[in-house]
């Protein structure tokens, strides 16, 4: 019997404002280095041109660190995986160009990865010395990030179908835009989460959308939140300062209720009880608690990713790249980044 050869892949993620590189051997992650970009904080959101420039500055030191931490030699790397999209075109271009140069110089194949599939497959990343339990197919994934809110049926590693998605803003955008209205710095999601822990979630009520099927909408909530604060501030200019914990807790509860309602509906309609969550917003402690409670009530087998694999990271690109590599799905030097890539396209 021939022994299965180990496969070592270097992966690059540069779709938005995090430059990340990871090394994976088969399904075991050896390193995962992420460099964030503080430059956007003062603008209240990601500035695409600044993001591309920061990626250019970070990419070489980040890759260097990832290879050193993984303790692999360059000759041991069998392929380079990179995020082709979706994301900011200028940011994607930096990672794609780096991958092309590295592949050419090392004479190894390139594997393109869909960033959204990466988020979903983060559950399959194994860490050394850890007993790993991955979801079984088919499973549902609630993918909630700064750019997406989707419910996905995952039939195999690379076979995914979106059965519900936002028709306007994403859940992360709702957190970030409402935080901005409150005068909180970007990204507001983690701050709302922190403040919400000390607040009363039932103090204020915000409108919830009535959208048919499994789709989401968050733009109405954002507007109702804006009008609510405007009216309160007319009566009391210190309203936000005096009530920020309760405002955050109530807003967070509304967003979580919206997310969970449709997920519960999806689980009922598909009969799938294997449920996962992915994307930056899955770091939210209220969402994690809400999911855990629903899972207990409904007999779901729930998978919540480690914090390090919720926001953008190259480990998830590495695991997805591994599955594509095993299927022999390579791309050549003519590949170009694709800003509007969809999950199954
Ligand atoms: O997945 P991600 O890093 O980037 C995208 O691909 O979009 O997600 C970033 C989003 C931001 O909107 C951020 O505010 C949100 O995830 N986020 C959170 C939390 N941590 C990150 N939202 C709510 N609570 C959190 N703890």
Percent of the chain whose predicted confidence (pLDDT) is above 70: 99
Structure letter (DSSP) for residue 214: T
The answer to whether 222 and 76 have CB atoms below 8 angstroms apart is: no
User: Which phi and psi angles does 295 have, rounded to 5°?
Assistant: -60, -40
Closest atom of ligand 1 to CA, residue 286: 24
Are 325 and 78 in contact by the 8 Å Cβ rule? The answer is yes
Residue 281 Cβ contacting ligand 1 at under 6 Å: yes
Q: Percentage of residues in the chain with pLDDT exceeding 90?
A: 90
CATH of 139-305, picked from 3.30.420.40, 3.40.50.300, 3.90.700.10, 3.30.460.10, is 3.30.420.40
Distance CA 120, CA 343 (A): 10
Rounded to an integer, what distance in angstroms lies between the CA atom of residue 235 and that of residue 210? Answer: 30
Mean pLDDT, all residues of the chain: 95
For residue 157, how far is the Cα from the chain centroid?
17
Taking 80 as the threshold, does the pLDDT of residue 161 lie above it?
yes
pLDDT band of 43, cuts 50, 70, 90: confident
> Residue 130: is it exposed, middle or buried by C-beta count within 10 angstroms (0-12/13-18/19+)?
exposed
Lowest mean per-residue pLDDT among 8-12, 239-243, 308-312, 333-337: 308-312
CA pair distance 80, 103, nearest whole angstrom: 7
Query: Hey, do 8-132+309-326 and 139-305 end up sharing a CATH topology, with the first three levels equal?
Result: yes
pLDDT in tens, 244-299: 999 999 999 999 999 999 999 999 999 999 999 999 999 999 999 999 999 999 99
Q: Which of 19, 48, 175 to mutate to test the pocket of ligand 1 (most atoms within 8 A of CB)?
A: 175
Supply the pTM of this predicted model.
Answer: 0.94
* pLDDT at position 1: 54
CB 33 within 8 A of CB 39: no
Cross-strand partners of 113: 83
Ligand 1 geometric centre to CA of 278 (Å): 10
Confidence of residue 132 (pLDDT cuts 50, 70, 90): confident
* Domain edges within the chain: 8-132+309-326, 139-305
CB atoms under 10 Å from CB of 260, counted, come to 16
For 135-160, how does the pLDDT look when each residue is reduced to its tens digit (9 = 90+)? 999 999 999 998 889 999 999 999 99
Q: What is the CATH number of domain 8-132+309-326?
A: 3.30.420.40
Task: Supply the pLDDT for residue 2.
Answer: 59
- Residue where the block lists tokens 């360059």: 74
- Which pair of structure tokens corresponds to residue 144? 């909630």
pLDDT given for residue 345 in this prediction: 61
Q: Average of pLDDT values for 219-233?
A: 96
Residue nearest to atom 24 of ligand 1 (CA): 284
Provide the token pair at 63: 């890759």
């Amino acid at each position: 019997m021939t022994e299965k050869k180990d496969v070592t892949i270097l992966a690059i993620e540069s779709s938005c404002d995090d430059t990340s590189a990871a090394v994976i051997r088969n399904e075991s992650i050896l390193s995962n280095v992420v460099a964030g970009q503080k430059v956007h904080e003062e603008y209240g959101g990601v500035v695409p041109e600044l993001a591309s420039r920061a990626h250019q500055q970070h990419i070489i030191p980040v890759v260097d660190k990832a290879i050193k931490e993984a303790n692999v030699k360059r000759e041991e790397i069998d392929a380079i995986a990179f995020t082709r999209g979706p994301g900011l075109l200028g940011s994607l271009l930096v990672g794609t160009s780096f991958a092309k140069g590295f592949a050419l110089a090392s004479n190894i194949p390139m594997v393109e990865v869909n960033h959204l599939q990466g988020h979903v497959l983060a559950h399959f990343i194994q860490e050394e010395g850890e007993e790993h339990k991955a979801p079984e197919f088919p499973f549902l994934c609630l993918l909630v990030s700064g750019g997406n809110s989707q419910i996905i049926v995952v039939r195999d590693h690379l076979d995914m179908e979106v059965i519900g998605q936002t028709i306007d803003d994403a859940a992360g955008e709702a957190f970030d835009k409402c935080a901005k209205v409150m005068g909180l710095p970007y990204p507001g999601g983690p701050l709302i989460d922190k403040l919400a822990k000390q607040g009363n979630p039932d103090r204020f009520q915000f409108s919830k959308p009535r959208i048919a099927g499994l789709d989401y909408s968050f733009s109405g909530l954002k507007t109702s939140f804006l009008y609510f604060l405007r009216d309160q501030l007319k009566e009391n200019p210190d309203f936000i300062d005096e009530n920020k914990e309760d405002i955050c807790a109530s807003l967070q509860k509304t967003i979580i209720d919206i997310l969970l309602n449709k997920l519960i509906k999806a689980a009922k309609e598909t009969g799938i009880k294997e449920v996962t969550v992915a994307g930056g917003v899955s770091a939210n402690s209220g969402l994690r608690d809400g999911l855990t409670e629903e899972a207990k009530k409904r007999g779901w087998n729930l998978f919540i990713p480690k914090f390090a694999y919720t926001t953008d990271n190259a480990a998830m690109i590495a695991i997805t790249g591994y599955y594509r590599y095993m299927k022999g799905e390579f791309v050549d030097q003519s590949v170009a980044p694709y800003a509007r890539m969809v999950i199954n396209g």
